[in-house]
């Protein structure tokens, strides 16, 4: 394999690396605001220029291949344009490097901080110098060189200025104290890697410039090629060191594994170029991609398991939670550890200090992530895990909510059933039956049937979450019919419910405590008794059910301000089923009695 072939492969790989890095930084720009967004714009300029530089080198190396020799005018224009763009981009590198200095933390030695400050200040001088260098490069490439500044001299100044900035980057990297003091293994590994990359990059660049200094250096052509590719390790090292861009872990993983496979493939091609050998090598490399990627993740990113394994483990831990009350606290504890976050919070509103937020679908909750431990940014792996966790949380939260709702409904309905078979109620009903058996057997039979209907409905309602409003009204009619047999003329009742509301679904046994309260605390204390009216109306976005009596009113202490176990249970069930969308209120009616009003959302959950 010739040097030209190696250059083609290297420049093509470098173009892909810098192109993908530019796209990733552009994604960051759409997500961030403020200072980090400004840094992202600088990153787009730096890595976009690096892409143009390497792609221009690729086209020029391609122009030197035998198949492009000859009078191909179209390709000649393409290659000339590529050379022009490459030279112009080269002229801008020092200015771009001066802006990179503003992104490097000045937490090293005094000399390192001084060099960084000098590198930042030079940008004001580099603006006009860059303009002059660009003009000189364009003039030389178009065949009209400037009399006072040749393209070669401009290139000499540019390369030596770049060497100065490489020295600044190396010194500032070596002198940084924060990564070593952080105690975070990933940051310490990143620091070591960037130190090595900086030292190697400066060494290669110095050896390349020795040609300008007329010093004898062996393998100068290969060293020159390596120097032209220094943007690749520099970009990887800066991404690894800064942890600034959300997708840089994926970038590092794919680039390192891809470059390694490319180097192996290039070496294999140099050994043998037969079709069978190339096919065999390609197949082996394809199957080597996954284990090599995992090795890169473990070695450079510190991931001991694949992202799929970690997601499954987190999902298992979430599904192991059985209590809705401890849901938010336990999940926060699990995710804080898995995502290496200072804190994780699940709440109806995102926390102000959150650096990332994820909606938990269907729950009305937000998963907020605090800063990452060690001052690093969350990478694409952590963001993917957080998104997956939000979906897992949505499914499990819904399941736990349904379980609690069923449990609460069952408890409330069992309490209601017990109220129906309360000894006082049962004894009163049996006394009524005993009197009616002799005086009015037909009525005694109807009361017996009504009592059986009450028991049947109360038992069946413990097995379902929703019933039709019409079924609930029929149950109440049976209940009132029994009470009517006991109170006789002292009790009357009326149902006034719109026909179009009767098919709507409501939680079972939600109205019985209101009717029971009306009789027990409204009708029973009055010598003359009273009446109970149950009405229902559909509005535009809700429907309303009222239970109104003409009895004693709220002067009875047990009804003061809606107190009582029955009303408390109703409110608790409404809150669990509808959240803040339902309302129960108790107020004095115009007749002197009491009116209980239940307002439910419309449409209500499930329709028949």
pLDDT given for residue 425 in this prediction: 63
Residue 593 CA to residue 522 CA, distance in Å, equals 7
For 531, residues 6+ apart whose C-beta sits below 8 A from its C-beta are 491, 492, 493, 494, 549, 550
Q: How far is CA 31 from CA 24, 249, 583, in A?
A: 11, 17, 41
Type and span of the H or E element at 358: strand 356-360
pLDDT given for residue 182 in this prediction: 58
**What pLDDT, in 10s, does the model give residues 125-173?**
999 999 999 999 999 888 888 888 888 888 889 999 998 988 888 888 7
For 308, residues 6+ apart whose C-beta sits below 8 A from its C-beta are none
In this prediction, the residues of the chain whose per-residue pLDDT falls under 50 are: 33-35, 242-244, 420-421, 558, 560-563, 604-608
Contact (Cβ atoms closer than 8 angstroms) between residue 380 and residue 356: no
- What is the number of other CB atoms lying within 10 angstroms of the CB of residue 581? 15
pLDDT given for residue 562 in this prediction: 46
Residue 316 CA to residue 331 CA, distance in Å, equals 12
Residue 123 CA to residue 101 CA, distance in Å, equals 10
pLDDT given for residue 560 in this prediction: 46
pLDDT given for residue 158 in this prediction: 92
pLDDT given for residue 145 in this prediction: 83
pLDDT given for residue 320 in this prediction: 84
Is the bond preceding 420 in cis, omega lying within 30 degrees of 0?
A: no
Domain regions of the chain by residue span: 3-246, 247-304, 307-398, 421-601
pLDDT given for residue 181 in this prediction: 59
Token pair for 186 = 């990933």
Class of domain 3-246: mainly alpha
Longest distance between any two alpha carbons in the chain, whole Å: 131
Q: How far is CA 485 from CA 430, 436, 493, 495, in A?
A: 11, 9, 12, 18
Contact (Cβ atoms closer than 8 angstroms) between residue 178 and residue 106: no
Residue 134 CA to residue 579 CA, distance in Å, equals 66
Contact (Cβ atoms closer than 8 angstroms) between residue 551 and residue 530: yes
Token pair for 252 = 């590092």
- CATH number for the 421-601 domain, one of 3.30.565.10, 3.20.20.140, 3.30.1600.10, 3.40.50.920? 3.30.565.10
Q: What is the pTM of this model?
A: 0.52
């Amino acid at each position: 394999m010739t040097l030209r072939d190696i250059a083609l492969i290297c420049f093509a790989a470098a173009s892909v690396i810098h192109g993908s890095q530019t796209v990733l930084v552009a994604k960051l720009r759409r997500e961030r605001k403020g200072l980090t967004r400004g840094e992202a714009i600088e990153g787009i300029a730096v890595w976009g220029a690096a892409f143009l530089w390497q792609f221009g080198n690729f086209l020029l190396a391609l122009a030197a291949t035998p198949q492009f020799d000859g009078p191909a005018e179209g390709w000649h224009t393409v290659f000339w344009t590529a050379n022009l763009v490459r030279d112009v981009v080269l002229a801008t590198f020092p200015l771009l490097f001066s802006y990179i200095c503003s992104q490097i933390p000045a937490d090293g030695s005094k000399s390192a901080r001084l060099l960084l400050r000098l590198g930042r200040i030079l940008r004001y001088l580099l603006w006009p110098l860059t303009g002059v260098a660009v003009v000189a490069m364009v003039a030389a490439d178009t065949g009209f060189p400037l009399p006072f500044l040749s393209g070669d001299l401009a290139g000499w100044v540019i390369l030596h200025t770049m060497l100065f900035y490489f020295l600044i980057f190396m010194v500032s990297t070596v002198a940084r104290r924060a990564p070593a003091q952080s105690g975070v293994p990933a940051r310490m590994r990143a620091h070591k890697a960037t130190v090595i990359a900086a030292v190697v990059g400066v060494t290669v660049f110095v050896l390349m410039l020795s040609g300008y200094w007329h010093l004898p250096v062996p393998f100068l052509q290969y060293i020159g090629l390596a120097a032209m590719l220094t943007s690749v390790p520099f970009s990887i090292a800066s991404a690894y060191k800064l942890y600034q861009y959300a997708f840089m872990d994926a970038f590092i993983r794919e680039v390192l594994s891809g470059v390694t496979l490319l180097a192996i493939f290039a070496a294999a091609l140099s050994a043998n170029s037969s079709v069978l050998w190339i096919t065999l090598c390609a197949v082996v490399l394809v199957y080597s991609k996954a284990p090599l990627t995992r090795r890169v993740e473990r070695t450079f990113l510190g991931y001991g398991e694949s992202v799929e394994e970690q997601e499954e483990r987190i999902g298992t831990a979430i599904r192991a939670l059985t209590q809705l009350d401890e849901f938010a606290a336990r999940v926060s504890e699990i995710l804080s550890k898995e995502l290496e976050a200072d804190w994780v919070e699940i709440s109806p509103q995102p926390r102000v200090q959150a650096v990332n937020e994820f909606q938990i679908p269907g729950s009305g909750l937000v998963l907020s992530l605090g800063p990452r431990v060690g001052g690093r940014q969350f990478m694409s792996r952590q963001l993917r895990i957080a998104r997956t966790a939000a979906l897992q949380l949505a499914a499990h939260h819904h399941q736990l909510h349904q379980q609690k709702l069923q449990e609460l409904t069952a408890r409330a309905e069992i309490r209601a059933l017990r109220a129906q078979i309360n000894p006082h109620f049962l004894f009163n009903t049996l006394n009524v039956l005993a009197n009616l058996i002799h005086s009015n057997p037909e009525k005694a039979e109807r009361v017996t049937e009504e009592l059986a209907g009450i028991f049947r409905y109360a038992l069946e309602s413990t097995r379902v979450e929703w019933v039709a409003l019409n079924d609930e009204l029929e149950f109440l009619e049976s209940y009132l019919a029994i009470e009517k047999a006991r109170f006789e003329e002292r009790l009357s009742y009326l149902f006034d419910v719109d026909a179009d509301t009767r098919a709507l679904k409501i939680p079972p046994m939600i109205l019985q405590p209101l009717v029971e309260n009306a009789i027990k605390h409204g009708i029973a204390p009055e010598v003359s008794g009273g009446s109970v009216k149950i009405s229902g109306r559909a509005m535009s976005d809700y429907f309303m059910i009222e239970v109104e009596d003409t009895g004693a009113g709220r002067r009875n202490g047990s009804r003061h301000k809606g107190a009582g176990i029955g009303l408390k249970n109703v409110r608790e069930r409404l809150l669990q089923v509808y959240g803040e969308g339902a309302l129960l209120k108790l107020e004095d009616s115009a007749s002197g009695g009491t009116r209980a009003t239940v307002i439910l959302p419309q449409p209500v959950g499930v329709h028949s």
